[in-house]
Chains A and B, each alone.
Chain A
Amino acid sequence: MIDNLNLLFVYAPIMNIQVILDGIFVGAVFALSAYGLALVWGVMNVKNLAQGDFVIMGGFIALGLHEYLGIHPIISIPIVLILMFAYGWAVYKLIIKRVIDNDMFVSLLATFGLSLLMQQVMNLIYGPEVRIIDPELPIYEFFDFVTVPMAKIISLILAAIFALIITLFMKKSRMGQAIRATAQDVRAARVLGINTDNVYAFTFALNAAICGVAGVMVSIIWVLQPFYGITYSLRTFAIVTAAGLGNLPAVIGTGFGLGLIEKYTSIILGVEYEIAAAVVMLLVVLMWRQIQMRKNRQAVR
């Protein structure tokens, strides 16, 4: 550990650039999926534990398109978007709709069951091996140490564009306004003639689509494995809980922050502590909020 610290800050400070860049690239994935979760959590009050599996599923769809039809993953983003949107809509109609009025734990457990199901189906289709897509794009090198693949830069730009489109959509479009109205007050929205059931279905489907895009990015810059979903779910939960609901810029910022924390942890302590770092961040934030609340004799709920 001391050796790694020395390496980072004494011998080769230039490596920090590599770590920070990697943190930003994975942070973009986290920020996207956390944005989706914050949307669903804020609008529908559903805590979706299958979030990470949506991400992995998007990645596997891109992988399938790449392997069988030869479509480049970056070009396959719109196809994944549409497929995942339809999938999210179906999941809402079949499962989420029936648990949405119940106590929160029911939706948590239902989505956990869904996550188990999706993991296993993906495992049956693609097998348990770790898979990657070779994007066949050039890799740039700076200062002898720092490597920046073109694919990562492109995916970062695409994620930024996508996030911008969603933000504009939520601000300007009729549906976006309806979603925001429903998040504020369901009954009032219903009285004013908004079909809240449709709004819920659209929100959940939009979340699935966002996760799908994040998954395509994962498939380009990282690895895919059917059982990695739960780690993404935990990370998104950590991010949304840490940032606080309804604070979307903070969600995105925390996403990047977690990316940096994870990359630094994996350099300093070892790769196997990456997920532990995310969970420790979650627990630290929860404890911090708990201590704050305890002053007023309240609890985190």
Chain B
Amino acid sequence: MSRNTLILYIIILAASILGPILLPAYTQQMAILWVMILMASTWDILGGQMGYNSLGNITFFGVGMYLSAIIQISMFYDVGEYTSAFGAIKPEFTDSQYFTGFFLGIIGAGLGSMILSVFLGFIVFGLRGPYFAIGTLGVAITAGQITGTIDYIGGGSGISMPFFPGDIYFRSIFFYILCFLLAASVHLILRWLYSTQFGLAINAIRDDEDKAEAMGIPTLRYKQFGWAIAAFFMGCIGAVFGNMVGFIEPIEVAFPTPTFGIFMVAMALLGGKGTLWGPVIGAVLFQIVKETTWTYLLGWQYVALGLIIILNIVYFQQGIMGWLQSKYPEKFGIFVDDKKPEEGLASRDNK
């Protein structure tokens, strides 16, 4: 890690600590910003680095949300009775009960989504290009539809999550910190992963899958592993998000394919896909634009967002990082390691 990146991380850490202190009214929006950064980064594992453009990563978000709800409630109540009472049962949790259930729920959500992703991987990873995109989109939409028909978890009318013990201010800070920790750990894990053999292998799959396979890379296993990481964190963040919102419903909250499902792709493209920082920059910009349009163009916000997505894709495909890389290749170029390319070549010649 060079000195500049260290300074950058310190600045980001300072900003993320000072943010909720200076602007306490916007804590939830900032928490959602971390959620979006996480979504864009995990989408980029497949979409940017591996060349598999999934439109269905939102499936794991919803699956994680529902898994955590089931785990949290079923620890002390019967889920079927709870949902069929439509809120007539007011769950009473002590602090320790709530937090044990909550953390077990997050972990269970992550692991459950991960297992699901491995099994789905056997089905969808034989598809390439647009077929993969449409297949995963279909998976996400069916997941929402089917969840809406299961009465055990509330069907179309949803579940309300257990109440958070503690006051509103502490609640928002608590969820902010959780979202921040998850997003930061995703970023650091991806940073490390992209520098390992795994990063090279998935880049090889993106560039030419047939050749990669011919070179002896077990492509299916790498693809499943990449998707499993994305699914694990999407599941975890889904669990956190469900508790943050407090009410789960299949179409709008848990499996929001037309909103979050496509936002994460748009964010990664806006920032520049296939780069570590691109999704982060894209998510920050996108969240700012989204909140501004929500505030000033109420009623037209989705029209504005649709227009932004179209303009971004039609006129600015390479994204911000891609544009920077082509404009200033010395500063933002892609190096295999920290050496300058000439040195790398020279050392190879000496061997």
Interface residues of A (CB under 8 A from B): 47, 95, 98-99, 102, 104-106, 108-110, 112-114, 116-117, 119-121, 123-124, 227, 230-231, 234, 237-238, 241, 270, 272-273, 275-276, 279-280, 282-283, 286-287, 290, 293-294, 299-301
Contact = CB atoms under 8 A, between A and B. Distances in A.
Given A110-B310, A234-B141, A116 B258 contact: yes
Contacts of A241: 131, 134
Nearest to B156: A272
Contacts of A234: 134, 137-138, 141
A227 B313 CA distance: 22
Nearest to A293: B126
Interface string B99-128: 000000000000000000000000100111
B130 A105 contact: yes
Given A124-B300, A124-B303, A283 B126 contact: no
Contacts of A276: 142, 145-146
Interface in B130-159: 130-131, 133-135, 137-139, 141-142, 145-146, 148-149
B152 to A, nearest CB: 15
B138 A282 contact: yes
B305 interface: yes
B325 interface: no
A123 B141 CA distance: 20
A110 B299 contact: no
B313 A99 contact: yes
Given A117-B306, A117-B307, A234-B138, A286 B127 contact: yes
A281 to B, nearest CB: 10
Contacts of A293: 126
30 contacts: A47-B130, A47-B134, A106-B313, A108-B53, A109-B309, A109-B313, A112-B262, A113-B306, A113-B307, A113-B309, A114-B306, A120-B303, A124-B300, A124-B303, A230-B141, A234-B138, A237-B134, A241-B131, A241-B134, A270-B149, A275-B142, A282-B134, A283-B123, A283-B135, A287-B123, A290-B126, A300-B127, A300-B131, A301-B128, A301-B131
A120 B135 CA distance: 24
Given A106-B313, A283-B135, A119 B265 contact: no
B9 interface: no
A29 B307 CA distance: 29
Nearest to A109: B313
Given A282-B134, A283-B135, A275 B310 contact: no
Contacts of B317: 102, 106
B293 to A, nearest CB: 12
Contacts of B145: 272-273, 275-276
A272 B250 CA distance: 13
B216 interface: no
B58 to A, nearest CB: 13
B7 interface: no
B134 A116 contact: no
Interface string B40-67: 0000000000000101000000000000
Contacts of B299: 124
Contacts of A286: 127, 131, 135
A291 B217 CA distance: 21
Closest 4 A-B residue pairs measured CB to CB?
Answer: A117-B306, A113-B309, A290-B126, A301-B128
B250 to A, nearest CB: 11
A95 B310 contact: yes
Interface in B279-313: 299-300, 302-303, 305-307, 309-310, 313
A72 to B, nearest CB: 31
Given A121-B303, A276-B145, A113 B131 contact: no
A196 B133 CA distance: 28
B131 A117 contact: no
Contacts of A280: 142
